[in-house]
Structure 1
Amino acid sequence: MLSLQCNLSRHNKPNMVPWSSPATTTASITAIIAILLLLPATTSQAQILKSEEHVYGPFNSSYVYGNLNTIFSVIPSATINQGALQITPDSAGNITYQNNSGRIFYKKPFKLWDDRYAALASFNTSFLINVYRVNNGTPGEGIAFVIAPSESLPPNSYGQYLGLTNAATDGNRTNNLVAVELDTVKQDFDPDDNHIGLNINSVRSNVSVSLSKLGIQISPNGTVFHVIWVDYDGERKVIDVYIADQDDKDAPIVAKPKKPVLSSSLDLKSLVNQESYFGFSASTGITYQLNCVLRWNISITVFPENKSNKDWNAITIGLCVGVPLVLIGIGVLVYLLVKKKKASSSDPQIMGTLKSLPGTPKEFRYQELKKATNNFDAKNKLGQGGYGVVYKGILPNDKLEVAVKMFSRDKMKSTDDFLSELSIINRLRHRHLVRLLGWCHKNGTLLLVYEYMPNGSLDNHIFCKEGSTIETTLSWHLRYKVISGVAYALNYLHNEYDQKVIHRDLKASNIMLDSDFNARLGDFGLARAIENEKTSYAELEGVHGTMGYIAPECFHTGKATRESDVYGFGAVLLEVVCGLRPWTKIEAYQLLIDWVWYLHREKRILEAVDPRLENNYVIEEAERILKLGLACSHPIASERPKMQAIVQIISGSVPVPHVPPFKPSFVWPALDFGIFDSEITATSTSEYSAFNTQSSSGHVGLSHV
C-alpha cells in the first residue's frame, strides 16, 4: 500500500556557470576567444564543462517523461508498479517476498572521465526512498545506489548480496562497481543492522557508519521516508553521503544536512568503467522488506564529444582569420539572447507544458511584477503556505490590483508545484473560482498572477485573527452565501468541467471573498484532474491536505476522490457554522465533528451555532447546514452525498439525508469498493491515529511505500 511524501530538494549542479549580465557575458566570451587565439591548437580543447540534469518521479500516470520503460532498465524481480521503482517487488503476481533481488538502472550509461580534460565527472544524486517492514516483521536485507559496468543482475544475488554480487564474485576486482548501501541485516562483517556503507566490488563495506546513533532507522515500523544525497567531487576525488528523515508530509522538504554521515576518498577512474550505469539494487532473504524509490534526481558533468586535432586546428585558424567578424557576431548574439531571455522562459519543461495548454496564459515581465509588489515587500504579503508566499501588487498600466504567488520551495519542487497549479487553474472558468491572470518565470523565480480578492480569505472573517483589521465576525447571511458559492464551485469541478477535478485542500483559508463577499475557491496547488473513467487520484507524495479536513479513507488508500473532497467540504460547513476549527477540543471531545454529532444525538444541534452570531441566524438554515456537514463527514465514503445533491440541499429544494444519531464507525477495508481503484495505498499510522480509529490488517500483497 502506498503512502508517499515525495518532496525532494534539487541540488547544486557541479561545475555549472550561472547566467550573468550582458556586459559580463560579452567580456567573458571575448576573454575565451583571446585565450583560444594565444594557445596552441592542441590545448584549445580545454572547454568549460557543463552539466546535465535528470529528474524522475513521481512515477505515476501523470509522469511527464512518458513511458518509464524507455527510460529505465528494469531487471526482475524489480518492477515499476504502484507508483514507485520497486527494487524488490510486493507480492503482486504471486511473487514471494523472500529471497528476491532486483535492479533498476537509468538506461543510458554516463561517461565518468575524459583524458582530454584530465578530469573526472562530478555528480550529485538524490533520491527519496521508503523501506517498509511488511506486517511490522523483521526487515531484510537492504537497498543500494550503484555505479556498475552493466545493467545485468548477478545470479543468486539475494540475501546478503543486495543484488550487487554473489558468493562466487564478491570481492572480485573485475566487478567494477561502487555502491552506497543501506543495510538492515547484520552480517559478521557489519557494525549493526541499521547502517550505511560504501562498497567497492563487494558487500563488505570499505567504510560503514551506524545510523542508530543519529536517530535514523532505515526500516522502522510504520511508514517513514528518507532522503539520501550522494555527492561526488571529481576534482577532489571525494564522495559524501547525507541522509535525513522526511516524515512530515505537509512541511517543506527537509534541508540537506550540513555534515555528511559518510565521507571518503574515492578515485572512480581506478575502480569503475569509463562508461558506467547509475541505478539501484536490492535484495531480500529469509526476512524481507519492500524497497521502493519514489523520486530520483541526477546532476552530472557532461564531456563534449570527441574532436580531432585537425578539427581543432581548423577552428583555431578560423578564429584567427575571422576575429573581427566573430566579435561582431558575438555582440549581436549576446544582445539577442538577453532580449530573448527577457521575453520568455528558457526552461524547456515549463515552455513545453505551456505550449500544451489550451490557450497559453499571459506572460508577465518580472520587472513589472517586482515593481507592482514594491520588490516583493513583506508589507504587501497576503499570506504564506507550504508552497510559497502571496503578495499584493498593483499594475499601474492596467490600474489593476493582483495577487502574485511566488513559489518558494526548492527548485525541483517549485517547478512541479508551478506546473501542476498552472495546468489546472488555466483551464477552469467559473464565477466562484479565483481567476488566473498569467505567469512569470525568470532566473529560477516562478510566479503566478491571480485577480486580487479585496476581502481576503473566509477564515479571517470567521475567526477575526489577531493583528487583523477585521473586528466583526461574518454575518449569517454572508456565511450562507459563501457556503452556497463554494458548493457551486465544487460541483463545477466534480461534474460540470470536461475533466473531473479534485481540489484536495478544501478549508476556510482557501476560500477567498471578492468585494461583494462572493466566495471564490482558490489555491489549486494540490488540485488534480483525474483521467476519464477513473475515480481517484493517487500521488507518490502521499496524502495531501490539512489535518481535520482529510477523509479517513485517504490514510489507507493514499488517494483523493470526489468523496474525499466532500468530506473536506463537510469540515468547512461545520467550521463556518460553529466558528471553530475542525480540530478544536471542546467539552470531552477531541474533534469538532464528534461534539456536533453528540449535540445532534441529544437533539441540541443548534447549540453548535457560533455564539458570536447572537441568535441572528435562520434556524432552519443553520440546522440544515449542520446536518449536511455531518452527512458530508460520514466516515464511510460511499454514504456521503454527491455534490449535485449538496447544491440542492443548500438551496432548500431537497431535504438533508438521514444522519444517524451516533457517529458510524470507520471500517476498513470498506464494504463498498466501487469508489476506489484497484491500486490501494497506505500511510503512516501516526497520521491516521489522529482520527482515533482502528483499521483492519490483512493487506498482504500491497506495496507499503
Structure 2
Amino acid sequence: METVDPRLRNGYVKEEVELVLKLGLLCSHPLASARPSMRQVVHYLNGDMEFPELNTVQVGFSMTNLLKNEGPNPDAMSPISSFLVPSVFHCINLVASSASVNQFAFEGFAGANLSLEGAATVTPSGLLKLTNDKHTKGRAFYPIPICFHSPPNGGATSATFVFAIVSDHAKLSDHGLAFLVAPSKSLSATTRAQYLGLMNISDNGKASNHVFSVELDTVLSPELHDIDRNHVGIDVNSLQSVQSHTAGYYDDSAGAFMNLTLMSRKVMQVWEDYNGQHMVLNVTLAPLDVSKPKKPLLSTSRR
C-alpha cells in the first residue's frame, strides 16, 4: 500500500484504504453521470451497498474530455468514417497464445505501437481512424500475443472501447465495425462491405478460421441473416452471428430497453467480458455519458 502515509505504520485496515481510494477515483470521474451521490458514498462506506466494478481498462480523463468537447467532427470527415478511441479498439487482433501480457490501456493512440493496415490511420489528436472513404477497409492490430485461458480453471478477460461512426449522410453508413480476436494477423484475403474486412465469401463459416468478433453492424445483409440494420452481434468463425440484438442498453433504474443508433455520429462505449471458468461472454453497449449497465445487451456461453 504505497499510497498510505508511512506514519500510520500498520495502524490501518487494507480493505478500508482500498475502498477509500476507489471511492476517490469514482467521485472524480470525468463523466458527471458516473459519479456517486453523497448518499451512495455513505452507503458504500457503511457496507450497505455493493461497490460498482471498476474496470482496469477505462477511458482516460483527457481523452474522455476530448470526446465530450470535440469528438469526431462530421464537417471534417470524408463520406464515411469510423473512429475508435481508448481504451481498446476495433479490429485489434488479440492473438490467443501463451504470452504473459495481462492487461493494457491506451491514453490516446498517438505513439501507440499498433500495426495499421488499409485505410487505418491515427489522427494528431490520438483518435484511431479506421476508414475515410467509401468501399474501404482499415484494421489496427495489437502486436503482442494475449493469453485468454489461465489453467486450470480459466480466467476473466475484459475489454472496452469507445467508438463513433460518422457519415455525410444521416441515414447512410458503411457496414460497421468489429472487435476481432484471431490466431494471426494474416487477413489479406478478406473483403470489405458485409464481411467487415474479417473474412470473404469463400471462408466465411469455416471452423478452421478460429476467429471471434463482436460486430457493430449498420447495414442489413440478408445473406448473413442480419436481424436489422442497427445491431450488435457475436460472431464465431462467421459473419452470421451466433447471437445478435438491436443496438441499445438496459437502463439500470427501470430495466427498460433504450434504443441506440450506431450511425448517429454519437460517441458510444462497448464492454466485452469473458469468464473463462464459466465460459460466458457478456457484451454491453451504452452512450459515453452512461455508466456501464448492469444487464448486458448480449450474453452467451462459448468455449
* Shift in Å, 1:209: 0.5
Q: 2:152 aligns with which of 114, 118, 141?
A: 118
Q: Does 1:245 align with 2:295?
A: no
Matches for 1:72-91 after TM superposition, within 5 Å: 72-82=114-124, 83-88=126-131, 90=132
- 2:175 is aligned to 141
- Cα distance in structure 1, aligned partners of 2:273 and 2:190: 30
Matches for 1:605-624 after TM superposition, within 5 Å: none
* Shift in Å, 1:132: 1.0
- 2:207 is aligned to 173
SS where residue 194 of structure 2 aligns? helix
- 2:144 is aligned to 108
**Mind listing any 5+ residue stretches in structure 1 that lack a counterpart?**
1-5, 15-49, 61-66, 91-96, 247-252, 268-705
In 2 relative to 1, CA 154–203 (structure 1 residues): closer, same or farther, beyond 3 Å? farther
The C-alpha deviation readout for 1:151-188, integer Å capped at 9, x for no partner, is: 23342410100111001110111110110100000111
Matches for 1:531-680 after TM superposition, within 5 Å: none
- 1:57 is aligned to 107
- 2:269 is aligned to 227
- Cα distance in structure 2, aligned partners of 1:126 and 1:162: 20
* Shift in Å, 1:13: 5.2
Q: Does 1:264 align with 2:281?
A: no
Q: 1:254 aligns with which of 290, 294, 297?
A: 290
2:118 is aligned with what amino acid?
P
Q: 2:229 aligns with which of 182, 190, 193?
A: 193
SS where residue 113 of structure 1 aligns? coil
- Cα distance in structure 1, aligned partners of 2:178 and 2:162: 12
* Shift in Å, 1:227: 0.8
**Mind listing any 5+ residue stretches in structure 2 that lack a counterpart?**
1-29, 35-52, 58-99, 249-256
Matches for 1:370-389 after TM superposition, within 5 Å: none
CA RMSD of aligned residues (A): 2.4
- Cα distance in structure 1, aligned partners of 2:107 and 2:167: 23
- Cα distance in structure 1, aligned partners of 2:240 and 2:188: 17
- Cα distance in structure 2, aligned partners of 1:99 and 1:51: 35
1:180 is aligned with what amino acid?
V
* Shift in Å, 1:210: 1.0
- Cα distance in structure 2, aligned partners of 1:104 and 1:51: 18
1:215 is aligned with what amino acid?
N
The C-alpha deviation readout for 1:671-704, integer Å capped at 9, x for no partner, is: xxxxxxxxxxxxxxxxxxxxxxxxxxxxxxxxxx
The C-alpha deviation readout for 1:191-226, integer Å capped at 9, x for no partner, is: 100000000011100001112663211111xx3110
In 2 relative to 1, CA 103–130 (structure 1 residues): closer, same or farther, beyond 3 Å? same
1:142 is aligned with what amino acid?
G
- Answer whether contact 1:195 1:208 (CA < 8 A) is retained: yes
1:240 is aligned with what amino acid?
N
TM-score w.r.t. the length of structure 1 is 0.27
- Cα distance in structure 1, aligned partners of 2:107 and 2:279: 29
1:214 is aligned with what amino acid?
M
- Cα distance in structure 2, aligned partners of 1:127 and 1:163: 19
- Answer whether contact 2:284 2:297 (CA < 8 A) is retained: yes
Q: Does 1:210 align with 2:254?
A: no
- 1:236 is aligned to 278
Matches for 1:327-476 after TM superposition, within 5 Å: none
- Answer whether contact 1:194 1:210 (CA < 8 A) is retained: yes
- Cα distance in structure 2, aligned partners of 1:134 and 1:57: 28
The percentage of counterpart residues that share the same residue type is: 30
* Shift in Å, 1:135: 4.1
1:58 is aligned with what amino acid?
G
- Cα distance in structure 2, aligned partners of 1:216 and 1:199: 20
Write 1 or 2 for the structure with the bigger share of helix: 1
Matches for 1:22-101 after TM superposition, within 5 Å: 52-60=102-110, 67-68=111-112, 71-82=113-124, 83-88=126-131, 90=132, 97-101=133-137
The C-alpha deviation readout for 1:373-405, integer Å capped at 9, x for no partner, is: xxxxxxxxxxxxxxxxxxxxxxxxxxxxxxxxx
The C-alpha deviation readout for 1:65-96, integer Å capped at 9, x for no partner, is: xx32xx211122222224311222x2xxxxxx
Q: 1:183 aligns with which of 213, 217, 226?
A: 217
SS where residue 126 of structure 1 aligns? strand
The C-alpha deviation readout for 1:111-140, integer Å capped at 9, x for no partner, is: 2225xx323332111111111122435112
In 2 relative to 1, CA 135–190 (structure 1 residues): closer, same or farther, beyond 3 Å? closer
- The size of the alignment, in residue pairs, is 201
Q: 2:187 aligns with which of 132, 140, 153?
A: 153
- Answer whether contact 2:101 2:147 (CA < 8 A) is retained: no
2:276 is aligned with what amino acid?
G
- 2:253 is aligned to none
In 2 relative to 1, CA 11–150 (structure 1 residues): closer, same or farther, beyond 3 Å? farther
In 2 relative to 1, CA 121–215 (structure 1 residues): closer, same or farther, beyond 3 Å? same
* Shift in Å, 1:58: 2.2
- Answer whether contact 1:75 1:152 (CA < 8 A) is retained: no
SS where residue 160 of structure 1 aligns? helix
1:165 is aligned with what amino acid?
M
TM-score w.r.t. the length of structure 2 is 0.61
- Answer whether contact 1:87 1:101 (CA < 8 A) is retained: yes
